[in-house]
Each structure stands twice: as structure tokens, then as C-alpha cells.
Amino acid sequence: MVSVSRRSLLAVGAALPLLGRLDWAVAAPKPAKSDKVRLNYNESPYGPSGAAREAMQRGIATAGLYPYGHMYALAGLFAQQQGIAEEQVAVFAGSMAALRFAVLAFTSESRGLVMATPSYEVPRQAAESRKSPVKEVALNAEHAHDVPAMLAADPQAGMLYLCNPNNPTGTMTPTESIRHALANKPKGSVLVVDEAYIDFSDAPSVISWVKDHDDLLVLRTFSKIYGMAGSRVGLAIGHPKLLEQLAVFGGDNVPAGSALLGAKASLEDVKLLPQRKALNAQLRDETVAWLKGRGFTCTVSQSNCFMIDVKQPAEQVIERLAEQGVMVGRVWKNWPQWVRVTVGNKQDMQRFREAFEAQDVRAV
């Protein structure tokens, strides 16, 4: 294992009542019919907050300097808010990079990866690139991770990956199931819990568990609820020795100072998260209710995306919606009749409903 200092390690790496109305986030002008509505990448329709944008503009003046000071400040603030040590937080150019490095660090040709399906494909792709065996386990009847089946899938697994809420389904795996996975996983393996979408849900984070478990890695991102997908800021949270193993693969993989300042300003904006969470839930639940009223089954999502069983090849529905300028999901091979839809703003979801109705899908 490579030994690194706390600073080089970091280099790789409250709920409040809703105040006022939700109209603040839907004030953007209605797009012209020729504009494409992007509901296919789980992006935020709102972008960085006003405070984050101001901070990012200030960061331009620091572009000639290495961003380490901003990284330490971001990691320190996040650690303080979560009640953990600063040494347990590492900053990356997006949580995708941290996830890929985790697969490289914790799997091998003899110690494989276990994950759910359908789920986020990046860990599988990373494992396959280094010829690590991959066991994909179907979600259970509630569309949660089937933890007992995952534990049985590979007794020699080096890494178990659990995305919660899950992408693409938006569904939750109960905290007790995650606790069971941590307690019963193969000896010497690491449990990686991807919480990219946790702030959209009512579920508790497992970040505090890293204080007592040196075999747990938790991932967070500023791409989703904070609206900074293009800025590439993510965090890995775990025991310093785990983070050192990631540092081997990307010790200088860090975002620019402007992005880090925007991320820090996002954490400092205490109203932002509860406002966006509430607005997302309102628009998601309205859309799901509309679809259910027309006979369609949807996943029970606590995220900024959900899936629809369209009862026909999903690719055909995706293509017909795209012809009307509404871009949605992609197809997961074991759910070929399900379409993933990202929750956009009020106008986006109206465009989605209009296009969905116009392309004449019939529930069976």
C-alpha cells in the first residue's frame, strides 16, 4: 500500500422546513417546441445555486494556482457537517472517478465485483476492463438490492457495490439491509455505498458508519441535487487507509478551484437542499400519478428519476419521444420494456406528458 500524507490524500479526493413557495425554481421561460428537453442524464434542471455561481465566478481569478487549499476547505466543511474526521474525506473530479478507482483498488482477477441489476453500469465496466469477475444480482420484488442473494453470489468478492437510491430505478434499499451486507460480506472485501441521490430521499445516510468500519466506502456527488454535473466534484468517505488505495490511481484527479468554491458554497446554503428536494418530489410524484392514472406501472422512486413499464420495447418509445424533442433514459438489458425518466422542471415535465401522450403508448 502506498503511504500518503493527509493533504495528498485529500488532494484525491438539518433538515429545515421548506420556506416560502416552490415557484422560485420554475421561473425559467418555457422552452420553444424546437428545444430538446433533456430527461436522459439525471441532470438538475436548475444548475448551480446563485451562491455557487457567484463563488465559481470568484474562482476564475485563482485559475493560475493549484486548487489544494480549496480542496482542504471543502473536505473540512463536509466532515464537520457530517460529524466525521477530515482525514476520512477525499475530493475527486466527480464521484464516477472515485467509483472507478474503488473497483481498480478492491477487485482483481481472483476477487470480483458483486452488484445489482439494473444499476449504475460504471463499476461493471471498470471491473471488466481489468478482467475482474462480475456477478450481477437482480433487484428483489420491491426493486431494492437483494442483499442475501448478493452475499451468496461470490464468496471471494473483493467489492460489493450498492447504489442507494438506485440508479436507474430511484428505489431505496432499507438501512438494515445495508447493515446486514456490511456485517456478512466476504472477509477482506469492501462495501461501496453510492449515495449520489441520497439527498432526494428521506433515508438516512450511512456516512457516520465509517467511524466504526474500515471496510466501508461511501460516495457523494455535487452533480445531482446541487446541479453541478459539468463541474465534476465528488467525494469519497472512508477510513484513511481505504482512501490511500484510491489515491494510487488518481492522486491528482481533482476539479478546478472554481468548481470547489461552488461546491463549498452549495454546502453553506442551508435552504438549497430542502427546497430542491421538495420541488423534485412534487414534480416526480405528480408525473408518476399521471402515468398511473393511464394504467402504467412506475418504480417507487425517492430520487430524481423513475422508471416506467411501457409494455413494449423501450427503445421504440425512447425513439418516438426523441422525435418530439424529449430525450429520456436508456435501456437496461434485463428490463427491456422499462424507460427511465429524469425529473426536470415544471415545463420539462409538461413537455414530457404531452410527448408521451402524443406518441400513443397504450398500457396493457
Q: Where are the domains of the chain?
A: 19-47+272-358, 50-268
> What was the pLDDT predicted at 20?
34
Higher confidence at residue 18 or residue 107?
Answer: 107
Stretch among 87-101, 229-243, 246-260, 300-314 having the lowest mean pLDDT: 246-260
CA angle 337, 356, 24 (to 5 degrees): 115
Q: Please state, in angstroms and rounded to a whole number, the distance separating the CA atoms of residues 362 and 364.
A: 6
> What was the pLDDT predicted at 254?
84
Residues 260 and 273: beta-carbon distance below 8 Å: no
* CB atoms closer than 10 angstroms to residue 150: 23
SS3 110: coil
Residues 221 and 245: beta-carbon distance below 8 Å: no
Q: 32 pLDDT exceeds 50? A: no
> What was the pLDDT predicted at 362?
55
* Domain 19-47+272-358: CATH class, spelled out: alpha beta
Q: 28 pLDDT exceeds 50? A: no
Q: How confident is the model at residue 31 (pLDDT cuts 50, 70, 90)?
A: very low
9-18 average pLDDT score: 38
**In 3-state terms, the chain is what percent helix, strand and coil (to 5)?**
45, 15, 40
Q: Please state, in angstroms and rounded to a whole number, the distance separating the CA atoms of residues 339 and 305.
A: 10
> What was the pLDDT predicted at 253?
76
Q: 27 pLDDT exceeds 80? A: no
* Domain 50-268: CATH class, spelled out: alpha beta
Longest pairwise C-alpha distance within the chain: 60
Residues 280 and 40: beta-carbon distance below 8 Å: no
Q: 33 pLDDT exceeds 60? A: no
SS3 187: coil
Q: 346: which 3 cell numbers?
A: 415544471
149-157 average pLDDT score: 97
Based on its alpha-carbon atoms, the radius of gyration of the chain, rounded to whole angstroms, reads 20
Q: 14 pLDDT exceeds 70? A: no
Q: 249: which 3 cell numbers?
A: 490511481
Q: Please state, in angstroms and rounded to a whole number, the distance separating the CA atoms of residues 11 and 260.
A: 12
End-to-end CA distance of the chain: 56
Q: Please state, in angstroms and rounded to a whole number, the distance separating the CA atoms of residues 159 and 83.
A: 26
118-144 average pLDDT score: 96
Q: Please state, in angstroms and rounded to a whole number, the distance separating the CA atoms of residues 190 and 101.
A: 13
Q: With residue 152 as reference, give the H or E element that holds it.
A: helix 147-153
Q: Please state, in angstroms and rounded to a whole number, the distance separating the CA atoms of residues 363 and 360.
A: 10
Read off the pLDDT of residues 314-362 as tens digits, 9 standing for 90 and up.
999 999 999 999 999 889 999 999 999 999 999 999 999 999 999 765 5
Q: How confident is the model at residue 29 (pLDDT cuts 50, 70, 90)?
A: very low
> What was the pLDDT predicted at 200?
98
Q: With residue 105 as reference, give the H or E element that holds it.
A: helix 95-106
Q: How confident is the model at residue 12 (pLDDT cuts 50, 70, 90)?
A: very low
80-105 average pLDDT score: 96
Q: Please state, in angstroms and rounded to a whole number, the distance separating the CA atoms of residues 191 and 186.
A: 10
Stretch among 78-92, 95-109, 156-170, 247-261 having the lowest mean pLDDT: 247-261
Q: With residue 356 as reference, give the H or E element that holds it.
A: helix 346-358
Computed over every residue of the chain, the mean pLDDT equals 90
> What was the pLDDT predicted at 360?
65
- Letter for the amino acid at 125? Q
Q: Please state, in angstroms and rounded to a whole number, the distance separating the CA atoms of residues 289 and 312.
A: 20
User: Is 291 buried (19+), middle (13-18) or exposed (0-12) by CB count in 10 A?
Assistant: buried
